[in-house]
Structure 1
Amino acid sequence: MADAKKSHDPDEQLDITALAEDGADIDLTEISFDGGSDEVETLRAERDDMRDRFMRALADAENARKRGDRDRREAEQYGGSKLSRDMLPVYDNLRRALDAVTDEQKATAGPVIEGVELTLRELVNVFSKHGITAIAPQVGDTFDPQLHQAMFEAPLPGTKAGEIIQVMTEGFMLHDRLLRPAQVGVSSTPAS
């Protein structure tokens, strides 16, 4: 038993379990692990590096998921903007056709005009279903460059500079984005 307490050669393997079975008293403070501290520090550095890489990869994956969700939502809301923009002249032409109808034409071609009105109403319903809303400025409204496009400026007595004096075409929004500005004429009457 006294042999268990004798000094230990660091290069020699020590079977602690065999000594414990023999009933030897083992003092673990006397066992040295020379050269092990460098290895432990290396392993800790590797662990820290791997943890850092893992956290970065996790953050990148989360950012990619959020970016993908945002792109998907934008595609759902604004993916049809090109088609919507291409349909606006159809709306404009139907509106012009109805604006040009006289009372005499209504009497003679009533069902045709009613068909055009129904077609325009259905187109407006489809626009509404897909988040397209009209920007319909009125004469006398103030010009807003975020929503309106000035097609001309003219001095008009009785108006103030920046007032809308004529509306050529309505504008449209697709959800919260401008699809097409309203085309208007603007007063350039100087302040008196």
Structure 2
Amino acid sequence: MTQEQHESTPSNPDPAEGAPDAASDSVEAQLAEQIELLKAEVEQARAQGLLERADLENQRKRLAREIESARRFANERLLSALVPVFDALEAGLANASDADPLRAGMELTLRELARATEANGLSTLAPAPGDPFNPEHHQAMSIVEVPGVPPGAVAQVFQKGYLLNERLLRPAMVAVAKAD
């Protein structure tokens, strides 16, 4: 058969070709449904992966904060134990006369101790009379009437307080001026 004959010969149309086949439609519907289910599973797995990644990142950040906090406050027990040494040296200096030969040694010891503890984050909390009373940093031991000091202000300091990296280690013990 030549090309011309082939083109002019009518082809035998298959009656099933043009008509929709119920079985193939059913298979296509099932495949489409499976595709949609698989797409949903993939999306769910992707969302779960993102949640787990975010959770791991949050845990990493929390651990880093905890490590930083532990590093900053690791020496808290040691510095707390040194606070009474400050008190003893300051009391000794308050009672020592200027002619006392031990005074210079106590002053040097106090300066060196202060330098070493400040390098590790310890700072003194010593309010002056007239400073406002701060309940977060001061412990009121008494309320006294003091002329010239405004009510609610520190009237007298009994004992210095201390902060370790801006966190209260020991409050300052003070007397507070009362209202007239």
Provide the TM-score with structure 1 as the length reference.
0.74
- Read off the aligned partner of 2:116 and give its amino acid letter: V
Query: Is residue 167 from structure 1 mapped to residue 157 from structure 2 by the alignment?
Result: yes
Q: Deviations over 1:135-166 (max 9, x none)?
A: 11122323222221111112234433223222
- Read off the aligned partner of 2:119 and give its amino acid letter: K
CA distance in structure 1 between the aligned counterparts of 2:131 and 2:52, rounded to whole angstroms:
54
Large movers: runs of 4+ above 6 Å: none
CA distance in structure 2 between the aligned counterparts of 1:69 and 1:145, rounded to whole angstroms:
31
**1:20 equivalent in structure 2:** none
Mapping for residues 3-82 of structure 1, pairs under 5 Å: 33=28, 35-82=30-77
CA distance in structure 1 between the aligned counterparts of 2:131 and 2:53, rounded to whole angstroms:
53
User: Contact 2:143/2:177 (CA < 8 Å) preserved in 1?
Assistant: yes
Report how many residues are paired. Answer: 165
CA distance in structure 2 between the aligned counterparts of 1:159 and 1:42, rounded to whole angstroms:
78
**2:108 equivalent in structure 1:** 118
Aligned-pair distance for 1:68? 1.0
Provide the TM-score with structure 2 as the length reference.
0.78
Find 1:87's aligned residue among 82, 88, 99: 82
Q: CA RMSD in A?
A: 2.8
User: Contact 2:129/2:149 (CA < 8 Å) preserved in 1?
Assistant: no
User: Contact 1:157/1:189 (CA < 8 Å) preserved in 2?
Assistant: no
Aligned-pair distance for 1:10? 11
CA distance in structure 1 between the aligned counterparts of 2:139 and 2:170, rounded to whole angstroms:
9
User: Contact 1:172/1:180 (CA < 8 Å) preserved in 2?
Assistant: yes
CA distance in structure 2 between the aligned counterparts of 1:71 and 1:179, rounded to whole angstroms:
19
Q: Deviations over 1:27-61 (max 9, x none)?
A: xxxxx746322221221121111111101111101
**1:182 equivalent in structure 2:** 172
Query: Is residue 130 from structure 1 mapped to residue 120 from structure 2 by the alignment?
Result: yes
User: Contact 2:86/2:110 (CA < 8 Å) preserved in 1?
Assistant: yes
2:52 match: secondary structure: helix
Which ranges of structure 2 fall in alignment gaps of 5 or more residues?
A: 1-10
Cα pair distance change 1:33/1:139, threshold 3 Å = closer
**1:96 equivalent in structure 2:** 91
**1:15 equivalent in structure 2:** none
Aligned-pair distance for 1:189? 4.2
1:35 match: secondary structure: helix
- Read off the aligned partner of 2:52 and give its amino acid letter: A
2:90 match: secondary structure: helix
